[in-house]
Structure 1
Amino acid sequence: MTSNRTARTGTASTGTSGTRAAGTRAARARIAAAFADAGVSGWLHARDLDTGADIALGADTLVSTASVHKLCLLVTLFREAAAGRIDLTRQLDIPAAGRTAGQTGLAAMLDAARLSLRDLAYLTAAVSDNAAADVLWDEVGLDAVNRTMAELGLTRTVAVHGFRDLIAALADDTGTDSPVDPAVVARLRVLDPTFTNRSTAREMTALLAALWSGEACPGEPGTALRRLLGLQVWPHRLAAGFPFDDVRVHGKTGTLPTLRHEVGVVEYPDGGRYALAVFTRAAATSITLPAADAAIGTAARLAVDALRVIANQV
C-alpha cells in the first residue's frame, strides 16, 4: 500500500539537519511533558511510513503489551490466509460455555454462536473481544504467531500465552483483594514483560509498517486487515489526538491495571501516513483515568506534527 505523496529526494544541508534535530528534541520534550502532566510513564515510537523519519521516547523499552498483542495474532492469521494455508471464510461453532472472560463481543454474550474466522477477527480488532481472540489463538497457534514475528525481524515481540491464561494469572495474583489496591497491583505478574506477552514501541511500528507496505500480509488479506483496524470503536486514546473528519485512524488498544496502550496508523488527506505506538503506565491505580487515556492521543499528535514539519524540511 503506497502513499499518494510525492517522494522528495536530495541531500539536506547541515543547517536543515540541525533544524530537524532541534525540532525532534523539542517534540520529545513536549511529549515527555504530556506524559508527566497526565501522571503516567510513557514510551513512544512514531515513524513516517514514506520517509522513514521517526520520533522515539523510550522506544526500545520492553513492555507488557496486553491486548495490543492481538495485532500480532491478527497479522499472523491474515498472513496465513495470504499464503493459502487458512480460509478466512471458514465457519466455527462457538459454544456458550468455556469462553474467555471479557466485557465485549463473544466474551460478554450468553448464547452459542457460529462465526467465520474473519468475523472473529473483526470482533478481536474492533472491540478487543478476548473470547474471539482466544478462538483464533487456538486455530493459529502460539508458535505460529511467534514465528511470524521472527520472520518479520521482530525478535523482541514474543507471545507467552493467550488471553485465558493471562486473565487466569491476573485473577490468581489479585485473589479476593481490590484490583485498585496499590499493594495488589505491585504483585501482578501480567505487568512484568518478562512474564507475559511483550514487545517494544519501535517493534510495534515496524509491524505496522510491514502491514501497510504489504510485506506482512500481501494482497487482499492485508487490505482486509487494514480495514478491520480502521473499524476499532474506541475514540478515547489514539483517535482523540486526531479529531478530524478527513484523518483516518486505524488502531489497537491494550489495557491492564495501570497500563493503557494503543498502536496504530494515522492517514492524512494529503497522503501522509504515520505508524504510532504509545505505551503508558499510570502512577495511580484507579480503573478510570481519562487524563491517562487522553495522553496517548496528545503524545501521538505531537509526534505526528513534528514528523510533518520534518517532511517539509527535506
Structure 2
Amino acid sequence: MSAVEDRIRAVFADAGCSGWLHARRCDGTGTEISVDGRARVVIASVYKLPLFVAFCRAVDAGRIDPAARLTITPSDCTPGPTGIAVMCDPVTMSRRDLSISMMTVSDNAAADVVLGEVGLGAVEELLADLGLTETRVLGGTADQHRGLVRDTDTHTTAEAFAALADNDEAWSVSAYDPSYASATTPEEMTRFLDAVWTGAVLSAEQTEFVRTVMRKQAWQHRIASAFPHSGVSVAGKTGTIGVIRNEVAVVEFPGEYPVAVAVFTRAARADPMLPVVDAAIGEAARIAVTELRRPLLGA
C-alpha cells in the first residue's frame, strides 16, 4: 500500500496540513490502509459519535426512553452555530430527536443535553467494552469551551474562538493536544464504525437507526464531497475546532462491502474556513476507499 499511502501524504502536504488516516473494508478480513493511523489525535466533535452510540445502547437496555420529551431554553445552552443554540425560544424535543440534531448538524447544545442524560460513565463503558483503549472522552462541548476561555485568557467563548482564528498569535491550547483533550486514533474510529455497522454493538433496530441518522449528516464538504455519485451512501460525523478538521464515515457503494474511513487533520493556518483542507480530507478518503472497494461475495 506504500504508493497509496504516499499519494495520501502528498494530498495533506499540498493542502498545508498534517494528516492522519485509517480505512478498513468492513468484511472481517482486516484489510486496511493507514497513514499514521495509530497515532493519537484530537477527536473534536467526533466525540458525538460514541456518545450517540452510548445513547442508543441505553435505549436498548431500557435505561432511556427515547420518546420522552425535554424542554430546553437556548439561552441556558452551550453556544454553537447550529441547532438549539441559535433559537430564540424554549424548545421541546424528544431525547431521540435531540440525538438526531446532535449528529446531523453537530448541535452542541443538544450534545450536552444528551451527555447529561446518558452520563460520561456510559460512554467510557462503551469504549472499554470495545477495547478502544486509546479513545477517551473527557467531557462535552461546554467543558471544551471552558478550557478554551481559560487557555486563551479571554472572557467568553466568542472571544476565545476569535483568538484561535488569529494567525498572528501562536496559541497553544489544550484543545489542540491529544494528551489533554478528548482523543482517539483513526484506527480505533474505523474499528468502532466497523463494529457498529456490522451489528456487534447494538440491536438490529438501533443499528439501523445509527446508520440512517449518520447518512443524514448535513455537512457535505469533506468526505462526502469526494463521492458525488448517485447511489453512493456516505454516513459520517465531522469534528472541527480551530486548526483541527476531522471526519469519520462509512462509505457504501451498491453491491460492495462498506468501507470505514477516518481522517484527522491539523492545519498550518487558523482561518475559520479552509476549503483546501476540507477538500484534502475528501480526496484522501477517496484514494483510500477506492483502493479498498470490493464486491460483496455472491453479489
TM > 0.5 fold call: yes
1:19-71, CA deviations, whole angstroms, 9 ceiling, x for partnerless residues? xxxxx111101100111111111000000001431000111111110000100
Counterpart in the other structure of 2:150: 172
Task: Report the Cα distance in structure 1 between the residues aligned to 2:256 and 2:145, rounded to whole angstroms.
Answer: 40
SS in 2 for 1:68: helix
Task: Report the Cα distance in structure 2 between the residues aligned to 1:207 and 1:162, rounded to whole angstroms.
Answer: 20
Q: Which amino acid aligns with 2:24?
A: R
For residue 185 of structure 1, report the CA deviation from its aligned partner: 4.8
1:148-180, CA deviations, whole angstroms, 9 ceiling, x for partnerless residues? 110111111111111101012112223256322
Cα 1:309–1:228 shift into 2, 3 Å: closer
1:63-113, CA deviations, whole angstroms, 9 ceiling, x for partnerless residues? 110000100100100011112222111111112331000000002111101
User: Among residues 271, 275, 286, which one is paired with 1:290 in the alignment?
Assistant: 275
Root-mean-square deviation (Å): 1.7
Provide TM-score, normalisation by structure 1: 0.88
User: Is the contact made by 1:82 and 1:219 (CA closer than 8 Å) also made in structure 2?
Assistant: no
User: Is the contact made by 2:255 and 2:295 (CA closer than 8 Å) also made in structure 1?
Assistant: no
SS in 2 for 1:187: coil
Q: Which amino acid aligns with 2:140?
A: G
1:280-299, CA deviations, whole angstroms, 9 ceiling, x for partnerless residues? 00111211111100111100
Q: Which amino acid aligns with 2:2?
A: R
User: Among residues 107, 131, 142, which one is paired with 2:120 in the alignment?
Assistant: 142
SS in 2 for 1:33: helix
1:125-164, CA deviations, whole angstroms, 9 ceiling, x for partnerless residues? 1000000000001001111111111011111111111110
For residue 311 of structure 1, report the CA deviation from its aligned partner: 9.5
User: Among residues 164, 178, 187, which one is paired with 1:202 in the alignment?
Assistant: 187
Counterpart in the other structure of 1:32: 9
Q: Which amino acid aligns with 1:34?
A: V
Q: Which amino acid aligns with 1:299?
A: A
Aligned residues: 289
Matched, 1:46 2:31: no
1:1-314 alignment to 2 at 5 Å?
24-50=1-27, 51-174=29-152, 175=154, 176=159, 178-182=163-167, 184-308=169-293
Q: Which amino acid aligns with 1:196?
A: A
Task: Report the Cα distance in structure 1 between the residues aligned to 2:75 and 2:267, rounded to whole angstroms.
Answer: 35
For residue 184 of structure 1, report the CA deviation from its aligned partner: 4.2
SS in 2 for 1:193: coil
User: Is the contact made by 1:126 and 1:228 (CA closer than 8 Å) also made in structure 2?
Assistant: yes
For residue 123 of structure 1, report the CA deviation from its aligned partner: 0.4
Cα 1:179–1:186 shift into 2, 3 Å: closer
Give 4+ residue runs of structure 1 displaced > 6 Å after superposition: 309-312
Cα 1:81–1:98 shift into 2, 3 Å: same
SS in 1 for 2:63: coil
Q: Which has the larger radius of gyration?
A: 1
For residue 243 of structure 1, report the CA deviation from its aligned partner: 1.0
For residue 219 of structure 1, report the CA deviation from its aligned partner: 1.8
Task: Report the Cα distance in structure 1 between the residues aligned to 2:222 and 2:83, rounded to whole angstroms.
Answer: 20
Task: Report the Cα distance in structure 2 between the residues aligned to 1:152 and 1:250, rounded to whole angstroms.
Answer: 21
SS in 2 for 1:214: coil
SS in 2 for 1:245: coil
SS in 1 for 2:76: coil
Task: Report the Cα distance in structure 2 between the residues aligned to 1:80 and 1:267, rounded to whole angstroms.
Answer: 27
Task: Report the Cα distance in structure 2 between the residues aligned to 1:85 and 1:66, rounded to whole angstroms.
Answer: 27
Counterpart in the other structure of 1:5: none
Unaligned stretches of 5+ in structure 2? none
Task: Answer with 182-191 or 161-170: which moved more.
Answer: 182-191
Task: Report the Cα distance in structure 2 between the residues aligned to 1:311 and 1:223, rounded to whole angstroms.
Answer: 19
Q: Which amino acid aligns with 1:270?
A: G
Cα 1:186–1:255 shift into 2, 3 Å: same
Provide TM-score, normalisation by structure 2: 0.93
Task: Report the Cα distance in structure 2 between the residues aligned to 1:92 and 1:239, rounded to whole angstroms.
Answer: 32
1:215-262, CA deviations, whole angstroms, 9 ceiling, x for partnerless residues? 121220111111100000111001011111110000000001111000
Task: Report the Cα distance in structure 2 between the residues aligned to 1:114 and 1:309, rounded to whole angstroms.
Answer: 45
User: Is the contact made by 1:185 and 1:285 (CA closer than 8 Å) also made in structure 2?
Assistant: no
